[in-house]
Structure formats: structure tokens, C-alpha cells
Amino acid sequence: MELTLTQAADIAIVSQYYPPVSASAISCAISNFIPYASNFPNSKARLTPGKDIVAPLHLECFLMIRKCPKDPHGTPLLVVISFTNQYPQQTPSAVLVPPPGGEEIKPAYSIMSKDGRIQLECLSFLRGVERPYALLDILLAIREQFELDYPLVEVNYRPSAPAASEAASMQTTSLNGGDPARQSLVQEAAERVVIDVNEKARGYLDTREQALQYLQKLNESNRELQKAKAILTAHHDELQGYLPSVGNVSSLLRQLDGRTDTVEEHANCLLPADPLQARALELLAEIHASDDTLALLEEGLKRELLTCDEYVKKVSDVGREQFVSRHLYLRVSESLCKTSLGAAAVTPVSTPPPLQSPHTPPEVPQRLAPTEALRIEFPSADVDVIRDVLASVNDDVTIARQQLKIMFP
């Protein structure tokens, strides 16, 4: 199965075929190589899944090798790097695949066996480099070796003994560069440069390894959070079914008692029998409104919101209006009394009403005590119970009536 380098660096894919430690190291190695992959055209990865396969992941890279210094283009040679399941403890293997066209691996090649397997430990470029070798270092070391000594020959190539000796001497000369002391200094400098680069990259590699571990923890936490979110969403949907189909509390109260909390609704609580009673209610409301206004004016004077002149003027106006309202209310009350007396005279009764002088004012019925009024309204309640209830609510008849309604429905 062919993969791109990005897919091969995905730990989610690699971990399906390698142990966790090896998968993390392989993913890190390929990720570090990806920025330099443009220098090795057509690089790709190949996956060979199987139970008995030790190295299922292979990295295929083409190296442009010049057969001689005058070669302007170079020849592409395919090198396959395989990762074993013991990586990074075990170094990856590198194999040269001869191109089709009648060439084979040179016999008795110094760092490579006949089947193309390259001995990475013998490469001069990797001397002093800390293991595991980076993929970029491996490919650069192989390319350097192949340019010094091209690894392929014709199929029918049979070197003679003098020619072989001459080639060996030429290889030795090229390796030594004509000056052994200079070549030794160059080799030592190259090793020191590689060691310094690896030392600087070690912190970065450690950071990437820790980042992979943190990323794994974050993925696990994210999965747990997604499960918890799904559970909460299910509970929320379940609770939504129990919510009442009303917009607000007012509409809910209106559904419960059948009445709305508006001024019009409260105005309809008292329905006068005739226009005279309606006028009496209006005048009584004006009298109470005047009392409230006078109380507010007094409070404003105490808080120094009004001057004395303003207070006197406003109190005079309100007092004048209240005086007129009281006078009219008394006139309406007399008319109501006469109307009620006339209605009582027409209604047949068993005993005639007591005779009264036409100039005598109507008798005002005496107001009953709270205990007597509640006893008449709740005959089944004991007098002591009524007194206790009144005492508990500070003789508030309205609240006492509500509590007695609950006790004696």
C-alpha cells in the first residue's frame, strides 16, 4: 500500500502496525525528514501489512548520483529504507535497488553486500553520529559514498587484476585527497559539525517527543469530553420535554387562575349596580388619592425636595380638590341611602320598618368586632380559635379570613 510522507508521519496510521514506542519514533523521524524531501524527488512510503513481517514500513528515495565529476545530470538510484519493529533500538536497514537496464551491483563493494544491503555503520559520513541516525544523514551519507565510488557496473563487467588494483589505488587516492593530513582534518571537522548539529537538534527532538505524548493525552481527554457532551445533550433534550409550553410566568399564572394581572382586570372586580354607585366609587377613589398625595407632599417636604411655598401651594390645591370630593361624596351617599330606603319600602317584609322622622338622618349600622364578624362568617369555628388566629396576624381580618378558609373550607 503506497503512502505519502505526510501519511507515513501520522502516528494514528503507524501505530496500527508498530508498538507505541516504535510508532512514535518513526513518526518523529519522518516528520523531521519532510522539510528536506524536496531535495529527493519522488520520495514516498510503502506499507506492507502482515503478521510475520518485521519491517512493514519502507521509505523509497531516489538519489541523483554522478558517475564521474563531469556528469552534468546524474543517474537516479533507488534506495529503500526499512523500519523494523525494534526501532529506535535497532538501526533501520537501507537497500540499493539496481535499476532495470543491464546494471548490477559492483562485486566486492566495500560497504554493501551483493544483494544491495548497505552497511550504514561503515559509512564515513555517519562516524561519530549518535544513533538512531536521522533519515537525512543516512541519505546524505549514502549519496556521498556512491559519488566517491559508483556502486553499479555492467552485467558482463569483469575487472582484470591490474585494473582492479588501479581502481583500488584510485579510490584510496580519492579518499585521501592526495594529502592524508588535510583529509584527516577535513574528516574531523565534518564529524564535529555533524555532532554539533545533532546536539542542537536533540532538544528539538525531545520537545517533539514530549509534544506527541501530550497530543495523545489531549486526544484522550477530547474523546472523554465529547462523550460527556453527548450525555449532557441527551439530558438537556430529555429535560426540554418537561418544560411547560408557556412563554413566561405571567402566562402560566393566567392559565392557573384564569385571570390576568392588569389594571382593567382589577377595575372589574367591583361592579356597581347603577351610575349612582359608580359615581360614589369614583369620588371615594379621589378622596383616597388625595390622602396619598398629601402624604407624598409631606414626605417631600421632610426630605427638602419641596420648598415651603411650593408645599403650601400644592397642599392648598389638593385640599381644595379633596374638600369638593368629600362634599360630593356626602351628597351621593345621601342619595344612595334614600334609594335603599325606597327599595326596602317596596319589598314586602314581615315586620314594618321603624318610623323615622323625615328630618332624622339614617342610622348607620354599627361595625362588628373582628371576632364577631369572623364568627358569623365561619360558624363552625370556635371563638377561641378565631381569637388565636387574629392574635397571630395582629388583628388583620383579611389575612385571618384567608387562614380560616384554609382551616374551615
What pLDDT, in 10s, does the model give residues 347-382? 444 444 444 444 455 454 455 678 887 888 888 878
Q: Residue 281, CB half-sphere, CA atoms under 13 Å: how many?
A: 12
Which residues, 6 or more positions from 153, have their beta carbon under 8 angstroms from its beta carbon? 103, 104, 105, 106, 107
22, 91: one domain: yes
Stretch 283-295: mean pLDDT: 91
Q: Which own/partner pairs from 286-289 qualify as long-range (CB within 8 Å, at least 24 positions apart)?
A: 286/321, 286/322, 286/325, 287/322, 287/325, 287/326, 287/329
Nine-digit cell string for 330: 356626602
What average pLDDT does the segment 67-88 reach? 83
CB 62 within 8 A of CB 42: yes
Closest CA to 24 of 33, 11, 13: 11
C-alpha distances (whole Å) from 112 to each of 28, 120, 147, 340 are: 28, 9, 14, 132
Instruction: List the grid coordinates of 187.
Output: 574528516
Residues 122 and 220 in one domain: yes
Same domain, 17 and 100: yes
Q: Are residues 66 and 133 in the same domain?
A: yes
Residue 140 above 80 pLDDT?
A: yes
For the ranges 91-100, 374-383, 391-400, the one whose mean pLDDT is highest: 91-100
Q: Is residue 173 part of a domain?
A: no
Given this model, what pLDDT does residue 28 score? Answer: 92
Do residue 304 and residue 204 come from a single domain?
no
Predicted pLDDT at 228: 94
Using the predicted structure, report yes or no on whether residue 11 has a pLDDT greater than 70: yes
Q: Are residues 201 and 343 in the same domain?
A: no
Q: What are phi and psi of 257, to 5 degrees?
A: -105, -5
Q: What is the DSSP letter of 37?
A: G
Which secondary structure element, helix H or strand E, spans residue 125, and what is its range? none
What's the whole-number mean pLDDT along residues 90-95?
89
In a domain, 167, yes or no: no
Shared domain check, 302 and 385: no
Average pLDDT over residues 111-119: 86
User: Which pLDDT does position 353 carry in this prediction?
Assistant: 46
Q: Residue 207's Cα: distance from chain center in Å?
A: 27
The Cα 409–Cα 402 span in angstroms is 10
C-alpha–C-alpha distance, residues 166 and 157, integer Å: 16
Residue 116 within a domain: yes
CB atoms within 10 A of CB 94: 24
Query: Helices marked H in 121-248 — which ranges?
Result: 135-148, 161-176, 180-240
Q: What is the three-class DSSP state of 179?
A: coil
**Given this model, what pLDDT does residue 371 score?**
84
Average pLDDT over residues 321-350: 74
49: alpha, beta or left? (left if phi > 0; alpha if psi -120 to 50): beta
Say which residue, 170 or 392, is predicted with more confidence. Answer: 392
Let me know whether 217 and 81 are in one domain: yes
pLDDT at 263 over 80: no
Whether the full predicted model's pTM is greater than 0.85, yes or no, is: no
Same domain, 208 and 124: yes
The pLDDT value recorded for residue 347 is 46
pLDDT at residue 342, rounded to an integer: 62
Q: What is the CATH number of the domain that holds 215?
A: 3.10.110.10
Residue 399, in any domain of the structure: yes
Does one domain contain both 76 and 133?
A: yes
Q: Report residue 374: phi and psi, to 5°.
A: -70, -30
**CA terminus-to-terminus distance, the chain:** 87
Percent of all residues in the chain with a pLDDT value above 70, rounded to a whole number? 80
> Residue 209 and residue 89: Cα distance in Å, rounded?
16
Report, as an integer, the average pLDDT of 52-63: 85
Residues 95-110 pLDDT 10s: 998 887 777 888 778 7
Mean pLDDT of the chain: 80
The three-class DSSP label of residue 75 is strand
Kindly state whether residues 10 and 144 are assigned to the same domain: yes
Here the cell at position 380 is 363552625
Do the domain assignments include residue 162?
A: no
54 has pLDDT over 70: yes
Residue type, 391: A
What pLDDT, on a 0 to 100 scale, did the predictor assign at position 168?
A: 52
Q: Are residues 388 and 336 in the same domain?
A: no
Q: Is residue 215 predicted with pLDDT exceeding 80?
A: yes
DSSP 3-state of 354: coil
Residues spanned by the domain of 386: 366-409
**What's the pLDDT band for 175 if we cut at 50, 70, 90?**
very low
Q: Give 234-256 pLDDT, tens digit per residue.
A: 999 888 877 665 555 666 666 65
Residue 360 lies in a domain: no
- What was the pLDDT predicted at 196? 82
Q: Which three cell numbers, joined as nine digits, stand for 92?
A: 533501520
Separation between Cα atoms, residue 219 and residue 216, nearest integer Å: 5
Number of domains observed in the structure of the chain: 3
Residue 183 lies in a domain: no
- The answer to the question of residue 373 being in a domain is yes
Q: Is the pLDDT of residue 23 over 60?
A: yes
154: pLDDT strictly greater than 60: yes
